[in-house]
Amino acid sequence: MTSSPLPILRLKPKTKPQAIRRGYPWVYANEVVTDRRTKAIAPGAIALLEDAERSPLAVVAVNPESKIIGRVLDGPDGAVPDQAWFAARLSKALSLRERLFPAPFYRLIHAEADGLPGVIIDRFGDTAVIQPNAAWADKLLPELSAALAEVTGVTTILKNAGGRGRSLEGLDAEDAVLLGEAPTAPIPVTMNGAIYMADLMGGQKTGLFYDQRSNQSFAAGLADGARVLDVFSHVGGFGLAALAGGAVSATCVDGSAAALDLATEGATRMDMADKLTVTKADAFAELTNLGEANAEFDVVICDPPAFAPSHKARDAGLRAYERIARLSAPLVAEGGYLVLCSCSHAADLSAFTGACLRGIGRAGRRAQLIHTGQAGPDHPLMPQLAESGYLKALFFRL
Q: Is the pLDDT of residue 3 over 80?
A: no
Largest distance between two CA atoms of the chain: 73
Instruction: Please check whether residues 93 and 34 belong to one and the same domain.
Output: no
Rounded to an integer, the average pLDDT of 253-271 is: 97
**DSSP label at residue 118:** T
Helix, strand or coil, per DSSP, at residue 189: strand
Q: Is the pLDDT of residue 205 over 90?
A: no
Helix, strand or coil, per DSSP, at residue 64: coil
- Taking residue 271's Cβ as centre, other Cβ atoms within 10 Å add up to 10
- 112, 146, 179 — which closes off a domain? 179
- CA dist., res. 212 & res. 222, Å (int): 16
CATH of the domain at 21: 2.30.130.10
Concatenated DSSP letters for 291-335?
HHTT--EEEEEE----S-SSGGGHHHHHHHHHHHHHHHGGGEEEE
CATH of the domain at 114: 3.30.750.80
Instruction: Please check whether residues 286 and 150 belong to one and the same domain.
Output: no
Instruction: Please check whether residues 161 and 196 belong to one and the same domain.
Output: no
Query: What digits encode the pLDDT tens for the residues 24-54?
Result: 999 999 999 988 888 889 999 999 999 999 9
Instruction: Please check whether residues 93 and 68 belong to one and the same domain.
Output: no
> 149 with 157: CB under 8 angstroms?
yes
Query: What digits encode the pLDDT tens for the residues 74-95?
Result: 999 998 999 999 999 999 999 9
Instruction: Please check whether residues 382 and 262 belong to one and the same domain.
Output: yes
Q: Is the pLDDT of residue 200 over 70?
A: yes
Instruction: Please check whether residues 91 and 66 belong to one and the same domain.
Output: no
Asked, for residue 303, whether it belongs to a domain, the answer is yes
Instruction: Please check whether residues 303 and 382 belong to one and the same domain.
Output: yes
pLDDT of residue 203: 75
Asked, for residue 137, whether it belongs to a domain, the answer is yes
Asked, for residue 187, whether it belongs to a domain, the answer is no
Rounded to an integer, the average pLDDT of 352-358 is: 97
- CA dist., res. 332 & res. 359, Å (int): 13
pLDDT of residue 309: 84
Q: Is the pLDDT of residue 204 over 80?
A: no
Query: What digits encode the pLDDT tens for the residues 84-131?
Result: 999 999 999 999 999 999 999 999 999 999 999 999 999 999 999 999
Q: To 10 degrees, the CA torsion angle through 36, 42, 46, 52?
A: 20
pLDDT bucket at 2, cuts 50 / 70 / 90: low
Instruction: Please check whether residues 294 and 207 belong to one and the same domain.
Output: yes
Asked, for residue 333, whether it belongs to a domain, the answer is yes
CATH of the domain at 216: 3.40.50.150
Asked, for residue 39, whether it belongs to a domain, the answer is yes
Q: Which of 327, 302, 260 shows the shortest CA–CA distance to 395?
A: 302
Instruction: Please check whether residues 37 and 90 belong to one and the same domain.
Output: no
The domain total for the chain is 3
Asked, for residue 3, whether it belongs to a domain, the answer is no
Instruction: Please check whether residues 270 and 387 belong to one and the same domain.
Output: yes
pLDDT of residue 90: 98
Instruction: Please check whether residues 13 and 145 belong to one and the same domain.
Output: no
Asked, for residue 163, whether it belongs to a domain, the answer is yes
Instruction: Please check whether residues 215 and 159 belong to one and the same domain.
Output: no
- Residue ranges making up the domain that contains 70: 8-74
Asked, for residue 153, whether it belongs to a domain, the answer is yes
| CB-facing half-sphere around the CA of 342: CA atoms within 13 A | 31
